[in-house]
Chains A and B, each alone.
Chain A
Amino acid sequence: MSDWIDIAALDDIALRGARVVKTALGCVAVFRTATDEVFAIDNTCPHKKGPLSEGIVHGNSVTCPLHNWVISLETGLVQGPDVGAVATFPTRVENGRILLDATTLRARAAA
């Protein structure tokens, strides 16, 4: 069962930008792509824990600022020759507001 939480306005994130949402077990990075799609993934790069929200957003991917690992925002999978994955979280955009699914966020907290 979904439990959507209103997080912020879409415009609070720059185009091709990201901000973090703090949770009890670390930050979730919320991305806004060039086409106004919104994705939420774990903020921590599986490589050396780089903050993904600080990376450059291109297409539906982000490049980690520490060592240029590229991570798909859709699947959370590391792209190219590197291997790994980060957790992804469902998002919705309604009336210019970004919504995150509290259920999955809680599930993460419990995990």
Chain B
Amino acid sequence: MKQKLVVIGAGMASGRVLEHLLDADPQAYDITLFNGEARGNYNRIMLSPVLSGDKTYADIVTHDDDWYAANGITCRFGEHVVAIDRAAKKVTGKNGTVSYDKLLIATGSAPFIIPVQGKDLPGVITYRDLDDTNAMIAAAAKGGKAVVIGGGLLGLEAAAGLAERGMDVTVLHLMGHLMERQLDESAGFLLRRDLEKKGVKVICRASTAAILGETHVEAVLLEDKTVLGADLVVMAVGIRPETRLANDAGLTVARGIEVNAQLQTSDPDIYAVGECVEFNNYLFGLVAPLYDQAKVVANSLLGQKDAFVVKELATKLKVTGCDLFSAGDFAEGEGREDIVFRDPARGVYRRLVIEDDALIGAVMYGDTSDSNWFFGLIKDKTEISEMRETLIFGPAYQGGTPLDPLAAVAALPRDAEICGCNGVCKGTIVDAINAGATDLGAVRAVTKASGSCGTCTGLVEQVLAVTLGDDFVLPTSQPMCKCTDMTHEDVRRMIKSQELKSMPAVRQACNWTTPDGCHSCRPALNFYLLADWPLEYADDPQSRFINERKHANIQKDGTFSVVPRMWGGITTPAELRAIADAAEKYMVPTVKVTGGQRIDLLGVKGEDLPSIWADLNAAGMVSGHAYSKGLRTVKTCVGTDHCRFGTQDSTGLGIKLEKTLWGSWTPHKLKLGVSGCPRNCAEATCKDIGIVCVDSGYQISIGGAAGMDVRETELLIQVPTEEEAIAVIKAVTQLYRENAKYLDRIYKWMAKVGLDWITAQVSDLETRTALVDRFELSQSIYRTDPWADHIAKNAETYQPLADLTLEAAE
């Protein structure tokens, strides 16, 4: 004898259960199907095309009256179920009671209504079923304004459909970007741009305060007091499982009706399927898992063993002209790497998230043609290390002959973006190459491509290779030196990202071909390590050029020059007397005033250095670092002390700056100037960092030079107080130390990263403070006088190891 099956709800899940059940064993059950809507199963996913007018209801019906009749299903459509009596195994509808052997609850979900004033006004609707859709179509026929609350999948489809039907539509979204659960910010931006092209206005971070109107909705009020006129309000902020019947029947309900892997509820004769269930803490809103559940329910009802497992989900938006796809997990995290491809002109964005050599997430926008292939990689946890270089280009570039990234690059259109930081597309680079920029450095100089973060360096090289053909030999990126193939930028990135804190560690990680480097890479590595790990890394004098090792400038005859510091160019009779005494005592052949407002003693013998330093130390003077890739001088004018034009105490500021910055190591020499007024007597605007005082504060400009290149500084920022000026200068010095290539002065570094970026960093207070903190941390070690240190610790190394003049003369 046939058992009795009662099904509550005719949605996509239960429709699929019935199909499987009748396919497998049409004689197993007498079936009664309740549905609150006055119709049977139809494809709810296709409501959006119905709304936009692309399809009609007839197109999306999945099971028609003939089908129910042919399969002997008793249909009770338009009849809400009011109660389940589990003890008596009876279900009561509005029109009467029916008994069951097995019951299937498929009540789906209910739209979430935000609890604001006015939510019940006529004209406020949700978007779940055909009635809602028809209501929207009817409202749209009258034209006017629509406000859609919720920028998720459903809300956007509703908004696009209403716009298609001629309404003036605004989408309100609580979060910072659209579809934040499925899309990252970049893809969210592209989506927003495309929707706006369709005439849909989007307001993000919009919190609805109330819906206004007397007898019908008239407007929506936001928390920020914005009022948006509205003839129709669509609530699409989310859904929650419809569990009221199950609750009343005493079944175990958490957020949804709890089921086991057989979709059985806490009552073994009652099953549940679809959006109303909760399994292992998961809720379900997309159709793929519902279909999986349907198969399991059908098998369970027939006594077959089967179990439901949660699989990766992919999302596609059904809005014409907005192709997007997202799948898996695309949050940033430790151990996760991104591969990003952007082509803004075509509106294409692809982002792949990789963890442990497998693809775990993908976001695609604009061109989703390869989405299934990527989704397959995610589901199958395919090992992708072999095809990693060309992965982002999709399946067309995989397999077969050895992978050739060049073919993929060659296939890119001219407007494909290569450098995201500077927005440089392939065509610009190709044009630059054809115009004579035939190596990476030249391309970088002309187009700025790969000049900022540098991650696209490889791509730029490939464009060079594709464009120049055989004339080009990879890698053209200038390696740091002959000891490694890696560039300065690569090595710096490695030091930071791999936390390399010693030279052997760097040489190991970056495949050095020499045991201990060379005169070119060693000073650079010493600087990078010291700049990035001031506490952990100990300065290596043997990796420094002689000037920095002996804290004096070597001259062409092997003697040295000695320059004591004169803070801000200010000295005293006592200091001058000590300098004069020292010059006589050590028979210094030349005494010269320098351009940096101090005095140079030239021609001091190497073995005399500790003694002359000791004499100068005794008079209160310290090393002027005239030899270092570090702070040299802060040149000043007399400012307000004596000058009738001075606007601020430029001398005082210069002294403070020099006392703050001295001892710091930088990629190249660092010279400052402070002028007390725009007459600029301290020539501040050709220094690495120049400060020009004005009545309203301090103009800080950077990137000047007066050497092989002569350059005027460019304004970084103007600040009102001296305190802020000092903080900004410390911050920009630290930023320069942390990011620049060794031996790039500020103007060269600035050309690579852009002044705008530097300004943005030091303008942001939080970033500025962090930079200042890191600067001070490093200075806690290096703001000392190396002369005093050497006198105390290794004065004897300045002397000959032995004197064999007598021995040899025998």
- Give the residue of A56, A68, A70 whose beta carbon is less than 8 angstroms from that of B522: A56
* CB-based contact A56/B545 at 8 Å: yes
* CB-based contact B516/A22 at 8 Å: no
Which has the most chain B C-beta neighbours within 10 Å: A16, A23, A56?
A56
List B contacts of A58 (CB < 8 A). 514, 516-519, 522
List B contacts of A16 (CB < 8 A). 516, 542-543
List A contacts of B517 (CB < 8 A). 58
Which has the most chain B C-beta neighbours within 10 Å: A21, A49, A57, A58?
A58
Residue-wise, chain A 33-47 has the 8 Å CB interface mask toward B (1 for contact) of 010000000000000
A90 adjacent to chain B (CB < 8 Å): no
* CB-based contact B808/A24 at 8 Å: yes
Q: How far is it, in angstroms, between the C-alpha of A59 and the C-alpha of B517 when the chains are bound?
A: 8
* CB-based contact A22/B800 at 8 Å: yes
* CB-based contact B542/A15 at 8 Å: yes
Closest to B518 in A: A58
User: Do A109 and B808 contact each other (CB < 8 Å), given the known contacts A34-B515, A63-B519, A65-B545?
Assistant: yes
- Give the residue of A21, A24, A51, A54 whose beta carbon is less than 8 angstroms from that of B809: A24
List A contacts of B606 (CB < 8 A). 51, 54
CB distance from A3 to the nearest CB of B (A): 10
| Residues of B that sit less than 8 Å from A by CB | 514-519, 522-523, 541-546, 549-550, 554, 556-558, 606, 797, 800-805, 807-810
Residue-wise, chain A 52-90 has the 8 Å CB interface mask toward B (1 for contact) of 001111110001011010100000000000000000000
- Give the residue of B518, B557, B800, B810 whose beta carbon is less than 8 angstroms from that of A63: B518
List B contacts of A14 (CB < 8 A). 541-542, 797
A93 adjacent to chain B (CB < 8 Å): no
List A contacts of B556 (CB < 8 A). 48, 66
* CB-based contact A19/B801 at 8 Å: yes
Which has the most chain B C-beta neighbours within 10 Å: A5, A14, A54?
A54
User: Do A22 and B805 contact each other (CB < 8 Å), given the known contacts A57-B542, A65-B546?
Assistant: yes
How many Cβ-Cβ contacts under 8 Å join chain A to chain B? 101
* CB-based contact A5/B807 at 8 Å: yes
Closest to B554 in A: A65
* CB-based contact B804/A105 at 8 Å: yes
List B contacts of A66 (CB < 8 A). 554, 556
Q: How far is it, in angstroms, between the C-alpha of A57 and the C-alpha of B554 when the chains are bound?
A: 17
Residue-wise, chain A 1-37 has the 8 Å CB interface mask toward B (1 for contact) of 0000101100011111101111111010010001000
Closest to A15 in B: B542
List B contacts of A17 (CB < 8 A). 542
List B contacts of A30 (CB < 8 A). 801
Which has the most chain A C-beta neighbours within 10 Å: B517, B519, B549?
B519
Q: How far is it, in angstroms, between the C-alpha of A26 and the C-alpha of B383 when the chains are bound?
A: 66
User: Do A23 and B519 contact each other (CB < 8 Å), given the known contacts A49-B558, A56-B545, A109-B809?
Assistant: no
* CB-based contact B516/A59 at 8 Å: yes
Name 6 interchain pairs, CB-CB below 8 A, sorted by A: A14-B541, A19-B797, A51-B606, A58-B518, A58-B522, A105-B807
Q: How far is it, in angstroms, between the C-alpha of A49 and the C-alpha of B555 when the chains are bound?
A: 11
User: Do A50 and B558 contact each other (CB < 8 Å), given the known contacts A19-B801, A21-B801, A22-B805?
Assistant: yes
* CB-based contact A22/B519 at 8 Å: no
Given A56-B543, A58-B518, A105-B804, 14 more A-B residue pairs with CB atoms under 8 Å apart are A7-B801, A19-B801, A21-B803, A23-B808, A24-B809, A27-B800, A30-B801, A50-B558, A51-B558, A54-B549, A54-B550, A56-B542, A58-B516, A58-B517
List A contacts of B543 (CB < 8 A). 16, 56
List A contacts of B803 (CB < 8 A). 21-22
List B contacts of A54 (CB < 8 A). 546, 549-550, 554, 558, 606
* CB-based contact B515/A106 at 8 Å: no
CB distance from A29 to the nearest CB of B (A): 9
